[in-house]
Amino acid sequence: MPGKTLDYIRRLNAPREIEDSRPLRLAVWASVTISLAALALQEVSSQALVLSSIALISAGSYISWRRRYRANMLVKVVIVVLTVAAMVSFMRQVSLQPHDPRIPLAELFVWVQVLHGFDLPRRLQIEFSKTIQHITEDTGTEISPIVMWDTFESEYLPTEPRMRLNAHELRSDSASGTTTITAQLVIDEQPVTVTGQGNGPIDAFVHALHDGIGATLDVVDYAEHALGAGSEATAVAYLETKDGAGNVRWGVGKDPSTITAALRAVLNAHERHQG
């Protein structure tokens, strides 16, 4: 009986369609190597671990190419054993460090960036991971990725913010290179009009908030990308800001217009500075 079972497994594992494309194999090796190098650069894993992993992956890729026409039963058994060992090691690390912010940050990266299409700047990821860490410390348990997304949305994309941008008008002076903005806001359900001038729409809006409502924030960094494709794509803007006391807060804005998304990100950052 064991002999028949072993023969059956061998037949199942017999090579069928062999991947002979060297460029494809090199592309896979390169993508994995770059991903591992990124872990070292971001100090998520030690350089020694990354270098040894790259060496093992390179050796494995070469062996896979050389033995591509064989059944490789022993190699597959070793891979299964190592995979189970890696899973056990990961689960042990999770149990030993349940409040390590790297774990919720990894889950956040998957849910927010892959499933919801957001491409969060690294410093924004770090800022939000602290929020998640506070929640896990208060509750004493890990929170689900769905709750993480709800927390991100309420923090950076609230459905009912205190400060809303209703409309704005821009005028550019090509001679001086300045932009003037007049924006209609709603703050605590009260209409407010602000006007400002700057080197572009964002700078002009920041000056308008300075002069109109006494905001003290300055923009430190800015990034944006599109959600979706084509004419129905939505722009998402991320702004890192600093107030007069040096406190850093990120703001996020979303709108079909890239300019409006950026202005909403400024307003979201200012509201977050206000607490």
Same domain, 90 and 106: no
Same domain, 43 and 116: no
Residue 71 has pLDDT above 80, yes or no: no
Give me the pLDDT at residue 138, please.
79
**Domain containing residue 171: CATH number:** 3.30.160.270
Asked if 233 and 210 touch (Cβ cutoff 8 Å), the reply is: no
Looking at 53, 74, 96, the residue that finishes a domain is 96
Same domain, 270 and 199: yes
Give me the pLDDT at residue 259, please.
95
**Domain containing residue 122: CATH number:** 1.10.1220
> What is the pLDDT averaged over residues 21-31?
74
Give me the pLDDT at residue 166, please.
95
Give me the pLDDT at residue 108, please.
54
Residue 254 has pLDDT above 60, yes or no: yes
143-200 per-position pLDDT tens digit: 777 788 888 889 999 989 999 999 999 999 888 889 999 999 999 999 999 999 999 9
Higher pLDDT, 68 or 6: 68
Higher pLDDT, 31 or 89: 31
Same domain, 106 and 81: no
Average pLDDT, the chain: 78
Same domain, 133 and 224: no
Same domain, 61 and 125: no
Same domain, 174 and 140: no
Asked if 233 and 265 touch (Cβ cutoff 8 Å), the reply is: no
Instruction: Quote the number of domains for the chain.
Output: 3
Looking at 156, 189, 224, the residue that finishes a domain is 156
Same domain, 198 and 266: yes
Residue 36 has pLDDT above 60, yes or no: yes
SS (H, E, C) the chain: CHHHHHHHHHHHCCCCCCCCCHHHHHHHHHHHHHHHHHHHHCCCCCHHHHHHHHHHHHHHHHHHHHCCCCCCHHHHHHHHHHHHHHHHHHHHHHHHCCCCCHHHHHHHHHHHHHHCCCCCCHHHHHHHHHHHHHHHHHHCCCCCHHHHHHHHHHHHCCCCCCEEEEEEEEEEECCCCEEEEEEEEEECCEEEEEEEEECCHHHHHHHHHHHHHCCCCEEEEEEEEEECCHHHCEEEEEEEEECCCCCEEEEEEEECCHHHHHHHHHHHHHHHHHC
Same domain, 59 and 115: no
Q: Report d(CA 122, CA 71) in Å as an integer.
A: 43
Give me the pLDDT at residue 258, please.
93
Domain, as residue range, for 140 = 102-156
Same domain, 41 and 107: no
Residue 15 has pLDDT above 60, yes or no: no
Same domain, 180 and 243: yes
> What is the pLDDT averaged over residues 11-37?
65
92-130 per-position pLDDT tens digit: 555 555 555 555 555 555 556 555 667 788 888 888 888
Same domain, 228 and 187: yes
Q: Report d(CA 36, CA 166) in Å as an integer.
A: 45
Give me the pLDDT at residue 3, please.
54
